[in-house]
């Protein structure tokens, strides 16, 4: 049926006998399979093509719900069946999210059951993470184009699970004021732990009233998740309470919470100052290689684990547990993460520590729930044995914003000592590639980020990178790239200068010195002055004599 589109399940049944095996249900004539890009009229429901059998397989799974006792045991079986079908579609390079949610229209009367909609959402969230940007685009398209309430609730639950900031912003913009969905939106926002989304939380909560069930539910959610945002957001909450339009109901409840927190935080901070050194000592004692007796090691480990319950110390404990080198520490970290009571900074430290502890048993839970902390997740994957993630970290370090590059540097620094050669090798390879692609903006960003890293990491083997930089400038009769943009030259010289200062009189110092003199003799303006400034910083008064 070329040109026809299925709009709902009744139409699917109507055309059932006319389908041929593997005939596409939704046809987008200009579909790009690797780009997940929607092309066509506004009424298109789907990005990915799927065939009749895919829909029927999901319908078969959903039919198993009718007449069955729906409980936690059933949910485990139900999720496994959905995951198996999704994996089958993934092998065909067809993202299964749309098909799975669309077929769920057949069980709308059951979707209100949390075991059902949470199961579908969890499987879909795992697939969104697996499909990365394409998966996000599929969920974004559903939020934009679909209008069926049960399926939109599932889509918002997917966003809640994955905590993706851009999708959370989209959910707020489209459905934040929708009476049927605002509680779902509020839950997704408040449970994300993202401080930058608090402005949306404040907007939704400003006029909540005591006399409506939805408003009470939303404020209870806020109170439950209040500590996710402390202490970083104390000022944000105070500014909100002093802003116009806040209802008395909201003001009184949140103001009381804030006062209680400040009192408790003062007590906990006093304890924290006295306990930080103790935590460090306990982590060393608990290490199997310590000189302590077995009983002392076990007591130290038990005491250290106990501090995970202290919110003022949890982040430090997550970090310290890597020093114990005890695999069982990972189980306590996972238990704490699954409680849902951790702040973003704590989650990141926990993920990296799990990597150091080589934890691999439930990385499906981690990828499903913490994909928004992508840098910490990649670090976890690399440390737990997935070598390819180091290249991904460095790729994003070279291409990232100053803030993002700084975060990656902080993670690299945690394991840099034992992997210096490997890290520098990958930086050289990727930076040379960036130079040869001759995209000015990419070169500037990569050079600037390497310059920042030189202040944090002891890099002493970037010879391959500088050999290519020499070619860019035409040094030692090497062919010039022909680049003309002054900002490119200045960024490359800044990187050269920082490396030169740290490695003067070492392996590559003399050649770098000759290179800088070459710049002063062959370039003018800011570029020449930059080279002179670098030389003077090493040998004051020795230039131009």
Could you read off the pLDDT of 401-435 as tens digits, one per residue? 888 999 999 999 999 888 889 999 999 999 999 99
Tell me what pLDDT residue 43 has: 56
Give helix then strand counts, H and E, for the chain. 27, 0
| Alpha-helical regions (H) of 95-243 | 97-103, 108-111, 114-145, 149-162, 165-175, 182-192, 198-205, 213-224, 234-241
Single pTM value for the model: 0.61
Residues 113-140: pLDDT tens digits? 999 999 999 999 989 988 888 999 999 9
302-329: burial string, b at 16+ Cβ within 10 Å, e else: eebbebbeebbbbbbbbbbbbbbbbeeb
Mean pLDDT, rounded, for 499-523: 81
In tens, the pLDDT along 300-310 reads 999 999 989 88
pLDDT band for 261, please (50, 70, 90 cuts): confident
Average pLDDT, rounded, for the chain: 85
pLDDT of 4 > 60? The answer is no
Give the whole-number percent of the chain exceeding pLDDT 90. 53
**Per-position DSSP letters for 4-54, written without gaps between them:** ----SHHHHHHTGGGPPTT-BSS--TT-BTTTTB--S-TT---SS--BHHH
Whether 96 has a pLDDT exceeding 90, the answer reads: yes
pLDDT at 207: 92
Map tokens 């990597």 to a residue: 355
Alpha-carbon torsion 405, 411, 417, 418, what sign? negative
Per mean pLDDT, which range of 55-64, 136-145, 502-511 is the poorest? Answer: 502-511
Confidence at residue 497, expressed as pLDDT on a 0 to 100 scale: 87
What's the pLDDT score for residue 22?
34
Residue 262: pLDDT band (50, 70, 90) is confident
Residue 377 has pLDDT above 70, yes or no: yes
Could you read off the pLDDT of 152-202 as tens digits, one per residue? 999 999 999 888 999 999 999 999 999 999 999 999 999 988 899 999 999
Rounded-to-integer distance, Cα 27 and Cα 5, Å: 7
Q: Give 404-435 as a DSSP string.
A: HHHHHHHHHHHHTGGGHHHHHHHHHHHHHHHH
Mean pLDDT of 532-540: 78
**β-sheet bridge partners, residue 51:** 24
What is the Cα–Cα distance from 541 to 545, expressed in whole angstroms? 8
Residue 480: which pLDDT band, with cuts at 50, 70 and 90? low
Task: Residue 453: name the closest of 415, 490, 413 by CA.
Answer: 413
């Amino acid at each position: 049926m070329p040109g026809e589109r299925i709009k709902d399940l009744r139409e699917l049944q109507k055309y059932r006998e006319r389908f041929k095996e593997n005939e596409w249900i939704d046809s987008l004539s200009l579909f790009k399979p690797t780009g997940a890009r929607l092309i066509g009229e506004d009424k298109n429901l789907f990005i990915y093509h799927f065939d009749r059998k895919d829909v029927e397989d999901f319908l078969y799974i959903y039919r198993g719900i009718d007449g069955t006792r729906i409980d936690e045991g059933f949910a485990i079986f139900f999720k496994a069946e959905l995951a198996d079908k999704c994996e089958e579609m993934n092998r065909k390079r067809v993202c299964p999210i749309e098909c799975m949610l669309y077929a769920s229209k057949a069980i709308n009367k059951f979707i209100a059951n949390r075991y059902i909609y949470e199961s579908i959402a969890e499987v879909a969230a795992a697939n969104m993470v697996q499909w990365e940007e394409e998966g996000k685009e599929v969920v974004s398209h559903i939020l934009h184009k679909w209008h069926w309430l049960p399926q939109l609730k599932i889509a918002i639950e997917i966003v809640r699970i994955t905590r993706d900031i851009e999708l959370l912003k989209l959910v707020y913009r489209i459905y934040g004021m929708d009476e049927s969905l605002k509680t779902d939106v509020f839950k997704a926002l408040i449970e994300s732990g993202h401080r930058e989304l608090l402005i949306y939380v404040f907007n939704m909560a400003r006029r909540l009233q005591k006399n409506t069930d939805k408003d009470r539910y939303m404020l209870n959610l806020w109170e439950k998740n209040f500590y996710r945002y402390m202490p970083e957001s104390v000022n944000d909450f105070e500014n909100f309470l002093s802003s116009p339009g806040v209802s008395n109901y909201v003001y009184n409840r949140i103001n009381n919470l804030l006062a209680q927190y400040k009192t408790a935080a003062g007590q906990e901070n006093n304890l924290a100052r006295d306990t930080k050194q103790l935590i460090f000592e306990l982590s060393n004692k608990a290490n199997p290689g310590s000189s302590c007796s077995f009983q002392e090691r076990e007591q130290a480990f038990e005491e250290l684990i106990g501090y995970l319950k202290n919110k003022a110390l949890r982040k430090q404990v997550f970090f310290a547990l890597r020093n114990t080198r005890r695999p069982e520490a990972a189980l306590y970290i996972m238990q704490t993460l699954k409680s849902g009571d951790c702040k973003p900074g704590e989650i990141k430290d926990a993920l990296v520590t799990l990597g150091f502890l080589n934890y691999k048993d439930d990385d499906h839970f981690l990828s499903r729930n913490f994909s928004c902390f992508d840098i910490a997740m990649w670090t976890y994957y690399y440390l737990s044995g997935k070598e390819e993630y180091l290249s991904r970290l460095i790729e994003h370090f070279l291409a990232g914003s100053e803030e993002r590059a700084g975060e990656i540097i902080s993670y690299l620094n945690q394991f840099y000592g034992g992997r210096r050669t490997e890290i520098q090798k990958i930086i050289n390879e990727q930076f040379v590639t960036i130079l040869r692609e001759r995209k000015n903006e990419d070169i500037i960003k990569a050079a600037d980020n390497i310059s920042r890293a030189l202040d944090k990491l002891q890099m002493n083997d970037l010879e391959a990178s500088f050999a290519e930089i020499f070619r860019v400038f035409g040094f030692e009769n090497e062919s010039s790239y022909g680049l003309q943009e002054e900002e490119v030259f200045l960024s490359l010289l800044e990187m050269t200068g920082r490396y030169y200062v740290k490695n003067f009189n070492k392996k590559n110092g003399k050649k770098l010195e000759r290179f800088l003199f070459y710049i002063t003799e062959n370039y003018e303006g800011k570029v020449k002055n930059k080279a002179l400034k670098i030389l003077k910083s090493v040998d004051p008064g020795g230039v131009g004599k």
